[in-house]
Amino acid sequence: MKNNIKYIKRISIFVLALVISAACAKWESETSPTLESASTVTLAVLSAGDSSVVISFANSANGYVSLNLYEGTGNAVPTEKEDREAMLTGNVTSMEYYSAETATGVVSQYTFEGLVQNASYEVMGVGNNSDGVVSEVVVQVVNTSDSNPPVLTGTDPEVGYGEVLAVDGSVVLFFDEPVFYDDTKDLTFSEYFDGEDVVAGSVTVDGNAVTVSLGEDLTNRDYVWLSYPEGAFTDASGNLAAEMVTYQDGNQFVGLYWRAVAKEFEALTILPVEAVVPAGFDIVVSFAEAVNADDVADGDITLTYDDGTDILTKAVLASEVSASGNDLTITQSFVAAPGVEVTLNIPAELLGIGIGNPNVEVTASWSILHPLQAWIGNYDVAAVSYGSPGAWDEAWTATIAAVAGDVNSLAITIDAGGGGGIAFNVAVDDVGMTISVAPGTPIGNLYGYGPTAVYYGDYATLDEFATIVGTIVADGTMTIDNWTTIFTDYGLVGGLWDAFNTTWTPAAKKKAASRGAGFASKAARF
């Protein structure tokens, strides 16, 4: 009995082992499926257009299929189980992801859109079966077609009426696909106001961007159009871009157009160029382009007159301002006295230069020229004595200045070597070219022996009532004969110092100077 029980235990243990072994085998087959049980995914291209492709896909088992789109070819294909599962669930980086439930052998399709024409892509497909086993990844290469021409999509700067284009700059054209330039076809810029057509200076292509430089500098603030013929640009398949014709339709432009930036214009010249000028002179301000003064009102332009004591600011009337071509002329209605400093002021942005460009501020100053200016200044005087024999000649220096309030007279101060000269007035006729000294005119204590005066005469004669009349030359030189110097304390006869024929030379013109001898002997004689 005991042995029977022993055998029964052994048999029970053996049977239990068989049951456990069978159960383990079944669990292993249900929980650890192998790759041999995975489904197979198939892909095919149904159609390809310029911007889309239609892909068919099927699964050899009930389950799911996922599609991932990649740009280009030769992309890395996942092989590890974890990577394939990530692709199945969309946990990878791709251009587009699509997933659908599939039935065994049923062919489905999906369309990828928004693609670039004439480009290559890869579609990677992966699936699973109802047991969740992930398939291997299959790859389908697709190529878009290229039946459409390149289309212009934008520009830099943007088309418009704003002042955005540098006069020496460029524009960039953007197309919807990479393009090529046919350099036998010109791109032409047209200036609206100037009416000038200029062939583009250079055309540079970088993918779908085309940089077009100007052939020459534009006119500031002019509108510029850009045109080009059909086929100036093509795509990789040879499709021709449409021509671009820019034109005016009513009060607006159509096509490619911009406006050149404004420029502040400085005055090129301001006339007169001399620092010292005659009174009542006209002022001419010239610019590089035509000037427009239509907006100038009374008082916009001013002239300031400064005589060193008082300053007068005069509002220039609009009627005193005129524009012709590139020149602006201002006519003075006020005649300033000699020596007055005249200052012009034209505010910035008052004028229109060229096509409405502003001006920068214009200022200039002049001193009013004395009508006798040629004979104003420092002089060297050669005084040739009538005395003979003996070295009686003298050499003086003199200063000739304007007389305030009298444009027909000059003031002379003589230095005969000892100082003491005083200013005396002489009349000057710049038409008859004469200089006149009144008889008995005091000229100062020239020699240190007392006051002197000048009369007409020589050693033989002396006329106390005759005016001394000399001649003047336009270059500033003068000659005054019969210049007789008298010491007034001793009378006309007793006070005779000497009689001279004098030649007056502007100091800048004198090449050499030498003082005459004989002063001592004259003094001794006196």
Domains 35-143 and 269-369 share a fold: yes
Kindly tell me if the per-residue pLDDT of 516 is higher than 60.
no
Q: Considering only 176-180, 465-469, 506-510, which range has the smallest mean pLDDT?
A: 506-510
- Confidence tier at 475 by pLDDT (50, 70, 90): very high
Q: Give the pLDDT of residue 526.
A: 42
Q: Give the pLDDT of residue 510.
A: 52
Kindly tell me if the per-residue pLDDT of 433 is higher than 90.
yes
Pick the CATH number of 269-369 from 3.30.420.40, 2.60.40.420, 2.60.40.1220, 3.30.470.30: 2.60.40.1220
Dist CA 133 CA 29 (whole Å): 13
pLDDT digits 0-9 by tens, 265-308: 999 999 999 888 887 899 999 999 999 999 999 999 999 999 88
Dist CA 321 CA 345 (whole Å): 13
* CB neighbour list of residue 158: distance below 8 Å, 6 or more residues apart: 164
- Which two structure tokens, joined as six digits, stand for 146? 């290229």
Could you please state the CATH topology (level 3) that the domain comprising 373-525 is classified under.
Answer: Lipocalin (2.40.128)
Q: Which helix (H) or strand (E) holds 478?
A: strand 478-487
Q: Give the pLDDT of residue 13.
A: 47
Residues 396 and 414: beta-carbon distance below 8 Å: yes
Q: Give the pLDDT of residue 24.
A: 41
In the predicted model, what is the mean pLDDT of residues 419-446?
Answer: 97
Could you please state the CATH topology (level 3) that the domain comprising 35-143 is classified under.
Answer: Immunoglobulin-like (2.60.40)
Residue 375 φ/ψ, nearest 5 degrees: -115, 20
What CATH number belongs to 152-260? 2.60.40.1220
* Residue bearing the bigger pLDDT, 28 or 328: 328
Cα 493 vs. chain centroid, distance in angstroms?
Answer: 80
* Residue bearing the bigger pLDDT, 407 or 5: 407
Q: Give the pLDDT of residue 26.
A: 37
Kindly tell me if the per-residue pLDDT of 31 is higher than 60.
no
Output the average pLDDT for the chain: 89
Q: Give the pLDDT of residue 272.
A: 94
CB atoms inside a 10 Å sphere around CB 133:
18
In the predicted model, what is the mean pLDDT of residues 134-140?
Answer: 98
Dist CA 176 CA 208 (whole Å): 7
In the predicted model, what is the mean pLDDT of residues 456-466?
Answer: 93
Closest CA to 359 of 301, 282, 320, 298: 301
- Which two structure tokens, joined as six digits, stand for 399? 């200063």
Dist CA 139 CA 41 (whole Å): 10
Long-range contacts of 182-189 (CB under 8 A, 24+ apart): 182/231, 182/232, 182/233, 182/234, 185/228, 185/229, 185/231, 185/232, 186/228, 186/229, 187/212, 187/226, 187/227, 187/228, 187/232, 188/226, 188/227, 188/228, 189/214, 189/215, 189/218, 189/224, 189/225, 189/226
Q: Where do the structural domains in the chain lie, given as residue ranges?
A: 35-143, 152-260, 269-369, 373-525
* CB neighbour list of residue 73: distance below 8 Å, 6 or more residues apart: 120, 121, 122, 141
Instruction: Report the half-sphere exposure of 34 (CA within 13 A, side-chain side).
Output: 3
242 three-class SS: coil
Dist CA 77 CA 380 (whole Å): 108
Residues 135 and 102: beta-carbon distance below 8 Å: no
Dist CA 70 CA 80 (whole Å): 19
Residues 474 and 402: beta-carbon distance below 8 Å: no
Kindly tell me if the per-residue pLDDT of 34 is higher than 70.
no
Closest CA to 455 of 444, 466, 443: 466
In the predicted model, what is the mean pLDDT of residues 11-19?
Answer: 46
Q: Give the pLDDT of residue 509.
A: 63
Dist CA 224 CA 259 (whole Å): 6
Residues 415 and 396: beta-carbon distance below 8 Å: yes
Straight-line distance from the first to the last Cα atom of the chain, in angstroms, rounded to the nearest whole number: 193
pLDDT digits 0-9 by tens, 368-403: 888 898 999 999 999 999 987 667 999 999 999 989
- Confidence tier at 8 by pLDDT (50, 70, 90): very low
